[in-house]
Amino acid sequence: MTKQLRIALAGNANVGKSAIFNQLTGLNQVVGNWPGKTVERAEGTLHYKGFTIHIIDLPGTYSLSAFSLEEIVTRDYIAIEKPDLIINVVDASALERNLYLTLQLLELEAPMIVALNQIDLAAKKGVKINTEKLSDALGIPVVPTVAITGSGINELLSKVIAVINGEEKINPLKVHYGSEVEERISKLQNLIEEKIPQICQVYPSRWIAIKLLERDEDVTGKLKNYKQGKKVIKEAEKLATELEEIHGEASPVVIASERYAIASKIAKEATIIETPPKISIEQKLDAITTHNILGYPILVVIILSIFTLIFIGGASLSEILDSFLRTLSTYIETLLLNYMPSGIAELINNGLIGGLIAGITIALPYVVPF
C-alpha cells in the first residue's frame, strides 16, 4: 500500500504558491471553497517514490494574526488538520517581508521546509540569497526554485521525502523575543497548560500565549468556550497591559516589531547584494535617445547641429572653391585668347566655365559635409 502524505503550501500572496502547486500536481486538481468561507481551496494529488501526496494550496497571507479570513483559514488548517509538512513558499526578491510570515509559521510548530522561489527575479534585482545561511538560521531546509520553469521542483520533492523519512533532520528556529515579552509568554504558557490542557492538543501552548498577548480576538473567543478560559484571558490582559506600560506601545505592536527585527536580521545576514551588471556606453546612449520624453528634444538638437555644421562648413568651403576656380578661370581665359578670337574665348569662359564654377561652388560644398 502506498503511504499517504498531506503537504500544505503556505506563503505571502503572489510568491508563486499556485505555480509550484501546478508544477507538482499538473491536472490532478480540485478547486473549491473552504467550508463556509469565500476563500478558494485548491487541492491536488501526485505520486512520488511510493508516496501518494495530497497537496493543498493555502491562501496567500502576510501574517497569521486574525485580521482576515485567509489568515484564520491558514493557521487553523495548519494547527487543526496538522499536515505532515508545510512548504513555505518565499519570494527571494522580498526576503525580509516574507520571513515575517515564516517566523509565525515556525511558531505554529508544524514541520516545515522553505521553497525559495522567484530566484530569477531576485537575480535581476542584483539580489542573491545564501541558501545555506538561511537554512542554518531557520533550522530547516531551503530549496531554491523558479516555479514558472519548474527549476528546483524535483529537488523540493526530494527534500520533502527526506524530511518525512527522517533522513534530513530539522531543528526549527525558536523565535525568541525580548526578556519582558519572554517572561510573560512563559507565565501565560504555564497557566494555559495547567488550566486548559485540551486546547494544547490543537494549538501549541506557546503560540496561544503569544496570540493572547497580541490580543487576538479569534483565540480569545476560542478560549471562552472552556471553563477556565476566562481566568486565562484575564491574566493575559493583565500581562499585555504590563507590556504596554513598559514599552509605551500597544502590546501587539511590541510583539510585531520584535518579530520584524528578527526577520530583518536573518534576511540581511543571508542576502548577498550583487552590483547590478555594468551597462555599456552604447546601452546608456540607446536608453537616453530612445527615452519617451527626452528622446524628442535630443532628436531636434541633433538635427539642428547637423544643419548648422552643413551651412557653416559649406559656406567656408564654397568661398575657398570660388576663389580657387576664379583664378583658374582667369588663367584659362588668357590661354584661350592665344588660340581664338576674344568673343568666342569670352563666351566659352563666361558661359561654359562660369556656369560650371557657379554649379560647383554653390552645390558641392553643401553636399560634401552632408
Ligand X SMILES: Nc1nc2c(ncn2[C@@H]2O[C@H](COP(=O)(O)OP(=O)(O)OP(=O)(O)O)[C@@H](O)[C@H]2O)c(=O)[nH]1
Q: Which residue minimizes CB distance to Mg ion?
A: 18
Nearest to Mg ion of 15, 64 (CB atom): 15
- Residue 43 or residue 235: which is nearer to Mg ion going by CB? 43
Calpha distance 180→254 (Å, rounded): 10
Q: Tell me, by CB under 5 A, how many residues bind Mg ion.
A: 2
Q: How far is the CB of 13 from Mg ion (least distance, A)?
A: 8
Give the C-alpha separation, 199 to 193, whole Å. 8
To Mg ion, the closest distance from the beta carbon of 50 in angstroms equals: 29
CB of 12 to Mg ion, least distance (A): 11
Position with the least CB separation from ligand X: 60
Question: Does residue 29 interact with Mg ion by CB under 5 A?
Answer: no
Comparison of 17 and 54: residue with beta carbon closer to Mg ion? 17
Which candidate, 39, 116, 32, 29, places its Cα nearest to that of 75? 39
Smallest gap from residue 259 Cβ to ligand X (A):
21
Contacting positions for ligand X (CB under 6 A)? 11, 13-19, 60, 117-118, 120-121, 146-148
Contacted by 146, from Mg ion, ligand X, none: CB < 5 to 8 Å by type: ligand X
- What is the rounded distance in angstroms from the CA atom of residue 46 to the CA atom of residue 78? 20
Closest to ligand X by CB, 98 or 349: 98
**Helix residue ranges, H only, 214-250:** 217-223, 229-247
Q: Which of 3, 16, 18, 69 binds Mg ion (CB under 5 A)?
A: 18
Task: Say which entry of ligand X, Mg ion, none residue 196 contacts (CB below 5 to 8 A, set by partner kind).
Answer: none
d(CA 8, CA 113): 11
CB of 12 to ligand X, least distance (A): 7
Q: Quick one: 17 or 222, whose CB is closer to Mg ion? A: 17
CB 20 within 8 A of CB 87: yes
Q: Binding partner of residue 233 among Mg ion, ligand X, none, CB under 5 to 8 Å per kind?
A: none
Residue 15 contact among Mg ion, ligand X, none, beta carbon within 5 to 8 Å by kind:
ligand X
Beta strands in 24-109, from DSSP E residues, in sequence order: 29-33, 40-48, 51-57, 85-91
Q: Taking Cα atoms as reference points, which of 96, 174, 165 lies closest to residue 140? A: 174
Q: Residue 125 CB, nearest distance to ligand X (Å)?
A: 11
Site for Mg ion in 44-73 (CB under 5 A): none
CB of 147 or CB of 345, closer to Mg ion: 147
**In 335-344, which positions are buried (b, 16+ CB within 10 angstroms) versus exposed (e)?**
ebeeeeeeee
Q: How far apart are the first and last CA of the chain?
A: 85
Which of the ranges 10-18, 110-118, 145-153, 288-296 carries the binding residues for Mg ion, by CB under 5 A?
10-18
- How many CB atoms are closer than 10 A to CB 161? 18
Closest CA to 82 of 196, 204, 165: 204
For residue 294 the three cell numbers come to 527626452
**Residues comprising the chain, all counted:** 370
CB 38 to ligand X: min, Å: 14
Cβ at position 94, least distance to ligand X in Å: 12
From CA 334, how far away is CA 360, in angstroms rounded?
A: 22
CA–CA dist 149, 155 (Å, integer) = 14
Q: How far is CA 100 from CA 76, 103, 173, in A?
A: 18, 5, 13
User: Among the candidate windows 11-19, 61-69, 120-128, 295-303, which touches Mg ion by CB under 5 A?
Assistant: 11-19
**Which positions lie near Mg ion, rule CB under 5 A?**
17-18
